[in-house]
């Protein structure tokens, strides 16, 4: 499983971003008395109680955005709640219980995730009785905190730690590898997605059962091929956003996005008789944003096989989706089943790649060789250093690099490091999430930096987590190769 996520939700202006910054001990999210400042989700990688988790800030539930982005903000909030492992429901003790709080509580009633009700702005014990009214919400354990007075931070972190999913000590291969792989089949209309599912349903040596939803809903088809079980998620075909004229079509697009989030592997379908369009690009962007292993599937290949070489479409896809150059491609005919079995076998390979866990020693060896071959460019007349790295999670493979200055590493050099990891680690065809973090004060480990490593000697060959200290102030940033931009808060390469 991936890094657990702790999602902060609540109505506008209760201090969600203040809680986020307070827990992270950094000013990462914008804090303002004006409602609706936070729109997109903001993430930060935390390390507490020997566990990594992502802290996620969201926009205010129930806020009507003046720029007509309310639906977009709400989509972000829904996606965050769905992916959460723990939910922090923030309320305002000074203002008291409001109808908007009740609406948030109603919305969370449909979630089975652990909820902690965080009564913010409870500056001291004289406000405790005012906070008691939030017990009426019936959502999670109540804790009284104050970001301004620094009250209750450690208690809140302890409560979060107690509710995170249990971690199996020494786990090498996640149990998820042995579970049923979910494959989402996505693409615009009439590219042959349902035809492929129908082929699966009638193929020899396949056992199939179908669980259907409402019209234009996503459909789960469970089948077995050569003794291996799969779930194929057939999604509605998407139109361009301005074409979503009816509620049914609007919710179909939401269900398609939800299917991508649910999937272990995504099959992105293209029609070789049509040019790649805006919808295709939007879908690929969403797949990349969610770090999903993907195969570009050119369906109906029998229609053009005699007139178009495969190399032409390979080049076309590479040129169109340059940041997804690692994604494998398949040319199939869903109607006849041509190459479908090979496609599913390749999807299984991606599923296993995403669940791989590598040793810390092997990871640092690859990085050391990459840096020796091509040192990082100077930054302000100094050479930035990477001291050591460790893999902290799978699906997607999540790696943390500890360095002297995260912002000193340019985007091209980060891409170079990512390429080295893909070439020498078992993650060649799947997204990688890579965090760059500043090494904590007192942490002298330097497995990658050979000069410093020799000076320190072997006394620092401790367990990879023993030297982390989140209480120390350390910077980090997230680099997303799919968008080519950095967030000074935290960094992930996909």
How far is Cα 370 from Cα 367, in angstroms, rounded to an integer?
5
Write the DSSP string, 395-407.
TTTEEEEEES-GG
What's 477's DSSP letter? Answer: E
Asked whether the CA dihedral 61, 65, 70, 74 is positive or negative, the reply is negative
Q: Is the pLDDT of residue 235 over 80?
A: no
Point out the least confidently predicted range of 32-36, 81-85, 280-284: 32-36
Reduce the secondary structure of 149-217 to three states and give it as a string: CCECHHHHHHHHHHHCCCCCCCCCCCHHHHCCEEEEEECECCCCHHHHHHHHHHCCCEEEEEECCCCCC
Whether residues 288 and 336 share a domain: the answer is: yes
pLDDT at 168: 55
Asked whether the CA dihedral 363, 366, 370, 373 is positive or negative, the reply is positive
Name the residue among 240, 235, 129 with its Cα closest to residue 182.
235
Determine, yes or no, domain membership for 46: yes
Write the DSSP string, 9-77.
E-STTSSHHHHHHHHHTS--S---SSTT---S-EEEEEEETTEEEEEEE-PPTT---TTS-HHHHHHHH
pLDDT at 452: 53
Whether residues 318 and 395 share a domain: the answer is: no
Averaged over 240-250, what is the pLDDT? 46
Confidence of residue 41 (pLDDT cuts 50, 70, 90): low
Domain count, the chain: 3
pLDDT at 283: 92
Determine, yes or no, domain membership for 24: yes
Q: Is the pLDDT of residue 223 over 70?
A: yes
Whether residues 320 and 201 share a domain: the answer is: yes
Whether residues 381 and 337 share a domain: the answer is: no
Residue that finishes a domain, picked among 136, 163, 190 = 163
For position 481, which CATH number holds? Answer: 3.30.300.20
For 156, how many CA atoms within 13 A lie in the half-sphere containing its CB? 29
Whether residues 384 and 309 share a domain: the answer is: no
pLDDT at 89: 95
Whether residues 269 and 284 share a domain: the answer is: yes
Determine, yes or no, domain membership for 158: yes
For position 226, which CATH number holds? Answer: 3.40.50.300
Averaged over 244-267, what is the pLDDT? 71
Whether residues 325 and 437 share a domain: the answer is: no
Determine, yes or no, domain membership for 310: yes
pLDDT at 25: 86
Confidence of residue 258 (pLDDT cuts 50, 70, 90): confident
Give 201 or 225, the one with higher predicted confidence.
225
Determine, yes or no, domain membership for 478: yes
Whether residues 338 and 379 share a domain: the answer is: no
pLDDT at 458: 37
Asked whether the CA dihedral 113, 116, 117, 118 is positive or negative, the reply is negative
Phi, psi dihedrals of residue 15, rounded to the nearest 5°: 100, 30
How far is Cα 43 from Cα 52, in angstroms, rounded to an integer?
13
pLDDT at 197: 80
Whether residues 185 and 302 share a domain: the answer is: yes
pLDDT at 218: 60
Q: Is the pLDDT of residue 111 over 50?
A: yes
Averaged over 275-301, what is the pLDDT? 94
Q: Other C-beta atoms within 10 Å of 437: how many?
A: 21
Contact (Cβ atoms closer than 8 angstroms) between residue 232 and residue 264: no
Judged by phi (left if over 0) then psi (alpha if -120 to 50, else beta), residue 480 lies in: beta
Whether residues 41 and 159 share a domain: the answer is: yes
Q: pLDDT by residue (tens digit) across 367-379?
A: 999 999 999 999 9
Judged by phi (left if over 0) then psi (alpha if -120 to 50, else beta), residue 227 lies in: left
Residue that finishes a domain, picked among 332, 354, 376 = 354
pLDDT at 449: 64
Name the residue among 196, 270, 286, 202 with its Cα closest to residue 233.
196
Whether residues 444 and 337 share a domain: the answer is: no
Whether residues 30 and 155 share a domain: the answer is: yes
pLDDT at 64: 54
pLDDT at 170: 47
Averaged over 270-292, what is the pLDDT? 93
How far is Cα 108 from Cα 319, in angstroms, rounded to an integer?
43
Task: Using a pLDDT cut of 70, give the percent of the chain over it.
Answer: 76
pLDDT at 131: 94
- Structural domain harbouring 400: 360-487
Give 210 or 413, the one with higher predicted confidence.
413
Determine, yes or no, domain membership for 384: yes
Determine, yes or no, domain membership for 472: yes
Phi, psi dihedrals of residue 55, rounded to the nearest 5°: -90, 130
Q: Is the pLDDT of residue 354 over 80?
A: yes
How far is Cα 117 from Cα 119, in angstroms, rounded to an integer?
6
DSSP three-state, residue 247: helix
Q: Is the pLDDT of residue 210 over 70?
A: no
Name the residue among 374, 401, 397, 398 with its Cα closest to residue 389.
401
* Exposure class string for 381-416: b at 16+ Cβ within 10 A, else e: eeebbbbbbbbbbbbbbbbbbbbbbbbbbeeebbeb
Determine, yes or no, domain membership for 11: yes
Residue that finishes a domain, picked among 354, 382, 398 = 354
Give 176 or 8, the one with higher predicted confidence.
8
Confidence of residue 483 (pLDDT cuts 50, 70, 90): low
Q: Is the pLDDT of residue 444 over 80?
A: yes
Q: Is the pTM of this model over 0.85?
A: no
Task: Using a pLDDT cut of 90, give the percent of the chain over it.
Answer: 53
């Amino acid at each position: 499983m991936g890094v657990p996520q702790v999602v902060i939700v609540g109505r506008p202006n209760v201090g969600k971003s203040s809680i986020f910054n307070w827990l992270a001990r950094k000013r990462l999210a914008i804090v303002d008395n004006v409602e609706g400042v936070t729109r997109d989700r903001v993430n930060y990688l935390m390390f507490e109680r020997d566990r990594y988790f992502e802290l996620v800030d969201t926009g205010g539930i129930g806020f009507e955005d003046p720029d007509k982005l309310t639906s977009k903000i709400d989509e972000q909030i829904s996606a965050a709640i769905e992916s959460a492992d723990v939910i922090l429901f923030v309320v305002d003790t000074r203002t008291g219980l409001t109808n908007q709080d009740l609406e948030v509580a109603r919305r969370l009633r449909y979630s089975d995730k652990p909820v902690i009700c965080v009564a913010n702005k409870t500056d001291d014990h004289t406000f405790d009785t005012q906070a008691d009214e939030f017990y009426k919400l019936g959502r999670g354990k109540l804790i009284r905190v104050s970001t301004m007075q620094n009250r209750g931070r450690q208690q809140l972190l302890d409560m979060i730690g107690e509710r995170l999913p249990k971690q199996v000590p020494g786990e090498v291969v996640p149990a998820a590898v042995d579970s049923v792989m979910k494959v989402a089949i996505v693409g615009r209309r009439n590219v042959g997605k349902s035809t492929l599912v129908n082929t699966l349903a009638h193929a020899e040596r396949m056992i199939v059962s179908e669980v259907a939803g409402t019209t234009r809903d996503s459909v789960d088809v469970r089948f077995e091929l050569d003794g291996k079980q799969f779930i194929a998620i057939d999604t509605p075909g998407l139109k361009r956003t301005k074409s979503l004229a009816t509620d049914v079509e609007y919710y179909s697009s939401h269900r398609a996005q939800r299917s991508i989030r649910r999937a272990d592997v995504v099959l992105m379908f293209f029609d070789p008789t049509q040019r790649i369009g805006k919808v295709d690009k939007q879908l690929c962007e969403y797949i990349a944003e969610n770090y999903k292993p993907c195969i570009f599937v050119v369906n109906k290949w029998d229609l053009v096989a005699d007139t178009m070489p495969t190399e032409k479409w390979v080049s076309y896809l590479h040129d169109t989706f340059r940041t997804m150059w690692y994604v494998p491609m398949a040319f199939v005919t869903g109607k006849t089943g041509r190459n479908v079995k090979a496609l599913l076998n390749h999807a299984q390979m991606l599923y296993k790649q995403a669940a791989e866990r590598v040793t810390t020693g092997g990871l640092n060896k690859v990085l050391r060789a990459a840096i020796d071959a091509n040192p990082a460019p100077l930054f302000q007349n100094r050479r930035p250093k990477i001291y050591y790295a460790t893999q902290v999670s799978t699906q997607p493979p999540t790696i943390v690099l500890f360095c002297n200055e995260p912002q000193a590493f340019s985007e091209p050099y980060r891409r170079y490091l990512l390429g080295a990891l893909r070439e020498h680690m078992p993650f060649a065809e799947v997204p990688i999430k890579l965090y760059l973090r500043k090494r904590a004060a007192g942490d002298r480990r330097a497995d990658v930096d050979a000069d410093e490593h020799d000076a320190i000697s072997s006394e620092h060959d401790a367990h990879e987590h023993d030297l982390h200290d989140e209480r120390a102030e350390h910077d980090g940033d997230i680099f997303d190769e799919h968008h080519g931009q950095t967030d000074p808060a935290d960094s992930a390469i996909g």
